[in-house]
Structure 1
Amino acid sequence: MGESLHTVTTLPAARQPGCPFDPPAELIDARRHGPISRYVFPGGHPGWLITGYDLVRSVLADSRFSSRKELMRHHPLIDYGDIEVPPAPPGEFLLMDEPQHGRYRKPLVGKFTVRRMRQLTERVEQITADHLDAMAKAGPPVDLVTAFARPIPAIIICELLGVPYEDRGSFQEHIDRFFDGETGDEDMLAAYIAVQQYLAQLVAAKCANPTDDVLSDLTGGDLTDEELRGMALILLSAGFDTTANMLALGTFALLRNPAQLAALRADPALTDGAVEELLRYLTVVKTFMRTALQDVELGGQTIKAGTTVILSYNTANRDPERFTDPHLLDLRRQNSGHLAFGHGIHQCLGQQLARVEMRVALPALVNRFPTLRLAVPAEEVVLRPETADIHGVKSLPVTWDV
């Protein structure tokens, strides 16, 4: 490879006009050159971009690559200069390695099993039906994001964690500001402080009067209030933003692929496979980063200790060496094994919950409104900016025949 190795200098890259579901062209081009590219972080710091499925998966399973926040000295959007990056706050286990990561994740694993999440199906069905009824009563057009995609996962995760229903709206508003990719630094800090203040009150209330929810269960152990706040923040923020965007963007993708939409309506047995294919095809969690703890040979290159690598989930899930016709949405696709939920010890804890919500909500929506369609031209649907951590649409105006 040597000097001919491909170099990427601009991230996040913009998506091509008219291609809201495909990774940015620069990333697809990088993958064509090979599964690993050089990357230059702001400030000129060298790094690596991993776009191939096998290499992304191997890094995620390799303990020689760290998730620790304080080691992520470089970022695609920020030049930290000589500023020391602090460790992740207690409880925020996504940005930690073992054994700290396991201290927080292990108490949660049993609460998000396949069996326990499937037991939630009836509740998801009820919440979904309530929102479909409200849509029908209001009549078209509606914004599917606010009427359907956001409230369903928000209600479920808040109920699981024990957030009172009356608090859900304001809490969700603060969380949205973290993920929209457009919030300024001052507003971001204000939102973070407001969330922390709310979670401090919530944890104190659960310690004083435990109820039947995950957060109350956690108060009975040796976790501090600060650790409980951090864990609750991770679960609440990750628990609805990703699924909300999958529901809205997934509907958009189905409406743009009418043959696939018709197949889903016609064959309920297709639902599970359809959800997995949408997860692969859309990959709303676009990237993660890892830092090498020692020199590592990867894809014919030496990743030096201390170097940060960017893992491109969306190009890995479009890798032609792993998926046949990867840019085609095929709900009958047989080869799954996508990386939409990551891999290894940090694989998404709530993946089974997300699957239940999608398996219930998407078929219910498209069957309730057989004439569902976009209320604006597809090119007028506004996407979240590429600076947002989670890909999605800002709104999705839809209509149907009454």
Structure 2
Amino acid sequence: MLDIRPRVRTVLGRLAVRRIRRQGIDLSRLSFVPEGATMPLLREGTDPDSGLGRLREAGGLHRLPLPFDFDVWLVPGHADARTVLTDRSSYSNDIRHLFHGDGPATSDDIGGLGFTDPPLHTRLRKIITPEFTMRRLARLEPMIERIVHESIDDLVDAGSPADLAAHLAFPVPFRTICELLGLAYEDREAFARLGSERFDATNGAAAAFGAVSAQREFLFDAVARQRREPGPGLIGQIIRDEGDAISDVDLAGLADGVFTGGYETTAGMIAMGTLVLLRDEKHVDLLRCGEREDVDRVVEELLRYLSVVQVAFPRFAKQDMEVGGQPIRKGDVLIPSLSGANRDPASAGDRAEEFDPFRVPSSAHLAFGHGIHRCIGAELARMELRAVFPALFRRLPDLALAVPAEDLSFRQLSFVHGIDQLPVRFS
């Protein structure tokens, strides 16, 4: 029987594009992502889609077919991506001009460091940066160790086989971020669900931004409660330090960035990192028996290899320019592909498509971005990963997949790549 659904979707897509072009752009109303624009989000298990590598090998930038009156350019190579991420004067990160104010998300819902330009970005980052210095983060190590071991206890108590994603990968960063921010646990399930939906492009921007709005409502409520009675966490500390100098919108944006940036991303790294490590007992032995530098090498290579954050925040060109030999017009958007850049042999060296903890790259990976918008929670994520993997493989030395690897279900078209379930068995 002939399946006409793809043809119908194509026709409806074209009609929607025409309507968007006639009526003007409202990003929050886009209910689909054109097929040709999904390339930077496609994955083959833990690997980026092979087409991304071909684009990178071709050199330069690649235009994505999106229904806007400006061009959107994918930046797949490491050198070009690093150049764009470093250039703080030629680009804007502010996307609020794309929201008309009456869709599922409005400009008031968009905030935080990732979508903010200096001088506001500078002021907000200055407020939160002291909490993420190595000295401040060191005090969290006992808490993280406790959460890791309690989560492994929960995994064991669930009985073999059990879902490592549900019992370890998601609880560790979730509990850590909740304690760091001073958030209550009552809304755990709702937060977890919305945290995944906001990065999922399967149902288009409208659904993703709807999840953004819902999750931000939780954080607005938390900020409002702590305005009256500041808690012991980061939200309460900022309120005590800044008072009325920081608005609820800006504070909720900061909390939102810390929560979503430190939860879904690290959860994906723990689950998929475990999957990668289980492929080779030598890599597990480095964690189980190696020194601190061995653990550090494994974690850094996992960050490069997996690149769970697939693309960087979009950059809007402030003037006409040329990038990677491609003329760029003022108002065009550049999207650096972090997963593409981190698999670039020009930076990662030979066999960039392979996992190798002994790799000596020619330049640093971009898993946390680069420049003024580099992930502020990078060191916190590293701390969690360095705590999780050695503890897991030391306590469960016979840990193994409970299903064939080909039966695993990965996220589809997600800005933050992940795995839905990771069934494992153990004694």
The two structures share one fold, judged by TM-score above 0.5: yes
1:59 match? 84
1:98 match? 118
2:290 match? 267
Query: Deviations along 1:185-235, whole A, 9 cap, x unmatched?
Result: 786566445434332331122122222211011113111222222222222
Give distance in 1, aligned partners of 2:84 and 2:98: 15
Deviation, 1:12, is: 1.6
Instruction: Describe how 1:109-258 pairs up with structure 2 within 5 A.
Output: 109-182=129-202, 191-220=211-240, 221=242, 222-258=245-281
Deviation, 1:89, is: 4.0
Give distance in 2, aligned partners of 1:45 and 1:191: 26
Q: Which SS does the other structure have where 2:253 is aligned?
A: helix
2:356 match? 330
Query: Deviations along 1:113-136, whole A, 9 cap, x unmatched?
Result: 122222211111111111112222
Q: Which residue of the other structure, out of 50, 61, 64, is the alignment partner of 1:25?
A: 50
Q: Which residue of the other structure, out of 344, 367, 370, is the alignment partner of 1:343?
A: 370
Deviation, 1:354, is: 0.3
| Gap change, CA 1:375 and 1:109, over 3 Å in 2 | same
| Gap change, CA 1:271 and 1:200, over 3 Å in 2 | same
2:318 match? 293
TM-score normalised per structure 1? 0.88
Deviation, 1:236, is: 1.4
> Which residue identity does 2:397 align to in structure 1?
P
Contact 1:155 1:168 in 2 (8 A): no
Give distance in 2, aligned partners of 1:227 and 1:197: 13
Q: Which SS does the other structure have where 2:347 is aligned?
A: coil
| Gap change, CA 1:196 and 1:70, over 3 Å in 2 | closer
- Higher mean Cα deviation, 211-220 or 313-322? 211-220
- Higher mean Cα deviation, 36-45 or 194-203? 36-45
Q: Which SS does the other structure have where 1:291 is aligned?
A: strand
The answer to whether the aligner puts 1:399 opposite 2:422 as a matched pair is no
The answer to whether the aligner puts 1:372 opposite 2:399 as a matched pair is yes
The answer to whether the aligner puts 1:41 opposite 2:66 as a matched pair is yes
Q: Which has the higher helix share?
A: 2
Give distance in 2, aligned partners of 1:28 and 1:88: 37
Query: Deviations along 1:149-194, whole A, 9 cap, x unmatched?
Result: 0000000101111102334343333323323445677865664454
Give distance in 2, aligned partners of 1:9 and 1:136: 42
| Gap change, CA 1:70 and 1:51, over 3 Å in 2 | same
The answer to whether the aligner puts 1:390 opposite 2:416 as a matched pair is yes
Contact 1:374 1:397 in 2 (8 A): yes
TM-score normalised per structure 2? 0.83
Contact 2:182 2:232 in 1 (8 A): yes
Q: Which SS does the other structure have where 1:10 is aligned?
A: helix
Contact 1:177 1:183 in 2 (8 A): no
Contact 1:72 1:291 in 2 (8 A): no
Q: Which SS does the other structure have where 2:352 is aligned?
A: coil
Unaligned runs of 5+ in 1: 1-7, 74-79
> Which residue identity does 1:67 align to in structure 2?
N
Q: Which SS does the other structure have where 1:134 is aligned?
A: helix
Give distance in 2, aligned partners of 1:52 and 1:188: 27
Q: Which SS does the other structure have where 1:241 is aligned?
A: helix
> Which residue identity does 1:21 align to in structure 2?
T
| Gap change, CA 1:149 and 1:394, over 3 Å in 2 | same
Query: Deviations along 1:274-321, whole A, 9 cap, x unmatched?
Result: 111100000000112211111122222221111111211111101111
Give distance in 2, aligned partners of 1:185 and 1:316: 24
Contact 1:275 1:355 in 2 (8 A): yes
Contact 1:284 1:391 in 2 (8 A): yes
Identity %: 37
Give distance in 1, aligned partners of 2:206 and 2:330: 34
Give distance in 1, aligned partners of 2:42 and 2:225: 45
Contact 1:65 1:292 in 2 (8 A): yes
Give distance in 1, aligned partners of 2:205 and 2:110: 22
Query: Deviations along 1:242-269, whole A, 9 cap, x unmatched?
Result: 0000000111111123332233323133
> Which residue identity does 1:344 align to in structure 2?
G
Give distance in 1, aligned partners of 2:291 and 2:145: 15
| Gap change, CA 1:34 and 1:360, over 3 Å in 2 | same
The answer to whether the aligner puts 1:303 opposite 2:328 as a matched pair is yes
Deviation, 1:373, is: 1.0
Deviation, 1:362, is: 1.2
Give distance in 1, aligned partners of 2:35 and 2:203: 24
Q: Which SS does the other structure have where 1:395 is aligned?
A: coil
1:282 match? 306
Give distance in 2, aligned partners of 1:186 and 1:297: 32
2:408 match? 381
> Which residue identity does 2:233 align to in structure 1?
D
| Gap change, CA 1:188 and 1:296, over 3 Å in 2 | closer
Give distance in 2, aligned partners of 1:219 and 1:304: 42
